[in-house]
Structure 1
């Protein structure tokens, strides 16, 4: 990937990457009441944001895990009541993984915890910095959507 600023902007992809990675290190370590491994949270987030239940093969692709690893994880999540496996109505040999209300609750809890911990950090920014972040939200949302489309 070219690390030079994009034409017509002063956005340097390398600087953007460094800022996002630095913020992400802080963000993923914010305290949470419910403690779960990253892979658990990632699978639950993927299922919660998907427009439909997913096959194991689809989770395998998005989560970058091995087939045995994703199978074991989904089995554990099913035992914990966070996901359910149901037959795929279009292919009786396959199963679809559905997130349960309890699985969605974990995501809501993490979001609430992170919001609570981010609020004082945001309050410590200058008004101009908060305005800049607010102005960047649509672009960051679009960038995330573009990334999901690649999956």
Structure 2
């Protein structure tokens, strides 16, 4: 697959590099609740998507079943998640975020907004406009990825 899009105006390789660098920077912005990336990702996934089976978390976080089990045990001990029987299959459990876990996600988001706001303030008007103009397209990329994931799950 070619790195460059067929649309000459967008170099997908360059986009990938910029997004990778931005993601690394963005992830490290908050100074609150320093937890591992995967641990935080689990909390964010539960906060945004509701209760999940361990198998779903294993797939979404791209780690082993053993690793996700250890993360969930640790989060449960800290009071950030709880496990309950799955009402559709009593052999399975659902992992859900607690109010304490939700507070971590919200506090980190607020801290991230504050720190990113400081950086955005250093941009000129044209740079701010360029980012603002790109937001709908970036949102659409996320939507397309979610749709692709749903199609993959159904097949």
> What TM-score do you get using the length of structure 2 for normalisation?
0.90
1:18 aligned to 2:42?
A: no
Question: What residue is the counterpart of 2:153 in the other structure?
Answer: none
Measure, in 1, the Cα distance between the counterparts of 2:117 and 2:16.
23
Question: What residue is the counterpart of 1:86 in the other structure?
Answer: 84
Measure, in 2, the Cα distance between the counterparts of 1:31 and 1:45.
14
Deviation of 1:6 after TM superposition, in Å, equals 3.1
1:146 aligned to 2:144?
A: yes
Question: SS in structure 2 opposite 1:81?
Answer: coil
Gaps of 5+ in 2: 151-155
Superposed CA offset, 1:67-103 (max 9, x none): 1111111011111111110101110100111111111
Deviation of 1:5 after TM superposition, in Å, equals 2.7
Q: Which 4+ stretches in 1 moved above 4 angstroms?
A: none
Measure, in 2, the Cα distance between the counterparts of 1:95 and 1:120.
42
1:34 aligned to 2:13?
A: no
Partner of residue 105 from structure 1, selected from 92, 103, 106 = 103
Deviation of 1:4 after TM superposition, in Å, equals 1.7
Deviation of 1:148 after TM superposition, in Å, equals 3.4
Measure, in 1, the Cα distance between the counterparts of 2:24 and 2:90.
42
Map 1:56-67 → 2, pairs under 5 A: 56-67=54-65
Measure, in 1, the Cα distance between the counterparts of 2:123 and 2:74.
41
Question: What residue is the counterpart of 1:2 in the other structure?
Answer: 2
> What TM-score do you get using the length of structure 1 for normalisation?
0.92
Question: SS in structure 2 opposite 1:131?
Answer: helix
Partner of residue 68 from structure 1, selected from 58, 61, 66 = 66
Gaps of 5+ in 1: none
1:115 aligned to 2:120?
A: no
Measure, in 1, the Cα distance between the counterparts of 2:67 and 2:126.
46
RMSD after superposition:
1.4
Measure, in 1, the Cα distance between the counterparts of 2:48 and 2:111.
19
